[in-house]
């Protein structure tokens, strides 16, 4: 899959969210997801309206918005239609199935009603997928499992990562991919059928991407779009502060276009390499 185009891969996906994301990436020539981690509704919507033309996906942490009103979600949906991008609430669910089903569907945010994609830690075991799927599958949503993390000292490595991939394989209709730092092809696949594995195509969404910094003071680690997409075979670059953080906020539009261009060039180079 690392050598196929996004459009070719869209045809092989049955999950509506995965298909739509791959189609959007191909149509907009953008594998850029902007992570909009700001605390005011107005800033949130303003940044999204500016970066909208350059992204395939917007990633939210809706619970950090101080002046949240549900009407912000209506504005977000309007921007998603205006600029043609999908929505990914980075909720990182981590509880038993029954609880995550409630957290996903209910409360203040009703995430399942507007977020095409959300994510979960595999730590509770497969019940977390069953719980989220009971809400998300009827709505055509997709789930991303956190198989690895970008932060220094993460415990999500080795056997934990392999078992996350194994959990995803058992739920391929709803689990569409991973938060990971590299492709997961063949990870935890000992003893599995090789043609089955060759047809497997999980999306790899990768945070910890920055062109100007190596990290922050709280353990975040950055790599470039080229390292992430070309060298590690990831599919979507997730960029937050690199685009609107202090020092980059003078021209958010130019930063978004810069990351889009870098991410797309790395992809084009990747698929041009003949195996
Ligand atoms: N994120 C990571 N690393 C992970 C998983 N998620 O950084 O392993 C999320 C963070 C943040 C974004 O919660 O929203 O990706 C990265 O933001 P940054 O580019 O400003 O560092």
Q: For 81-97, what is each residue's pLDDT tens digit?
A: 999 999 999 999 999 99
Q: Quote the pLDDT of residue 198.
A: 86
Ligand 1 binding site (Cβ under 6 Å of any ligand atom)? 35, 37, 61, 90, 149-151, 179, 207-208, 220, 238-242
* Runs of H (alpha helix) within the chain: 6-12, 16-28, 41-51, 71-83, 97-105, 127-136, 159-169, 194-199, 225, 241-244, 252-272
Give residue 57 CA to ligand 1 midpoint distance, Å: 14
Does residue 119 contact residue 100 with C-beta atoms inside 8 Å? no
Give residue 59 CA to ligand 1 midpoint distance, Å: 10
Q: Which residues of the chain have pLDDT under 70?
A: 274-275
How far is 140 from 76, CA to CA, in rounded Å? 19
How far is 37 from 203, CA to CA, in rounded Å? 23
From residue 268, give the alpha-carbon distance in Å to each of 25, 53, 95: 13, 20, 39
Q: Quote the pLDDT of residue 262.
A: 98
Atom in ligand 1 nearest the alpha carbon of residue 149: 8
Judge if pTM exceeds 0.90.
yes
Structure-token match 């669910």, residue found: 93
Atom in ligand 1 nearest the alpha carbon of residue 241: 20
Biggest CA–CA distance in the chain, Å, is: 53
**220 has binding-site annotation:** yes
How far is 97 from 171, CA to CA, in rounded Å? 14
- Which of 37, 178, 242, 252 best tests ligand 1's pocket when mutated (most atoms within 8 Å of CB)? 37
Query: Which residue, 151, 154, 135, is CA-closest to 143?
Result: 135
Q: Pick the residue whose CA is nearest to atom 10 on ligand 1.
A: 207
Q: Quote the pLDDT of residue 274.
A: 55
Give residue 207 CA to ligand 1 midpoint distance, Å: 5
Q: Quote the pLDDT of residue 275.
A: 52
Catalytic positions: 90, 92, 95
């Amino acid at each position: 899959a690392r050598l196929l185009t996004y459009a070719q891969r869209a045809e092989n996906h049955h999950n509506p969210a995965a298909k739509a994301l791959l189609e959007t990436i191909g149509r907009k020539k953008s594998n850029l997801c902007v992570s909009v981690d700001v605390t005011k509704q107005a800033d949130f919507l303003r940044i999204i309206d500016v970066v909208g033309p350059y992204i395939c996906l917007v990633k939210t942490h809706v619970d950090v918005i101080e002046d949240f009103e549900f009407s912000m979600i209506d504005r977000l949906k309007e921007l998603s239609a205006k600029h043609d991008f999908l929505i990914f609430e980075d909720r990182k669910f981590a509880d038993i199935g029954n609880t995550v089903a409630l957290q996903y569907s209910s409360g203040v945010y009703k995430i399942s009603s507007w977020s095409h994609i959300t994510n979960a830690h595999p730590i509770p075991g497969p019940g977390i997928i069953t719980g989220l799927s009971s809400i998300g599958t009827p709505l055509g949503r997709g789930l991303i499992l956190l198989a690895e993390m970008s932060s220094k000292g993460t415990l999500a490595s080795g056997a934990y990562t392999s078992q996350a991939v194994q959990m995803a394989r058992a739920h391929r209709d709803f689990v569409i991919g991973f938060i990971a730092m590299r492709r997961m092809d063949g990870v935890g696949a000992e003893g599995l059928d090789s043609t089955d594995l060759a047809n497997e195509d999980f999306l790899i969404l990768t945070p910890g991407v920055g062109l100007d910094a190596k990290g922050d003071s709280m353990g975040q680690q950055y790599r470039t779009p080229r390292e992430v997409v070309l060298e590690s075979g990831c599919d979507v670059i997730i960029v937050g502060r690199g685009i609107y953080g202090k020092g980059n906020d003078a021209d958010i539009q130019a930063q978004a276009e810069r990351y889009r261009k870098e991410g797309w060039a790395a992809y084009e180079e990747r698929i041009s390499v003949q195996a």
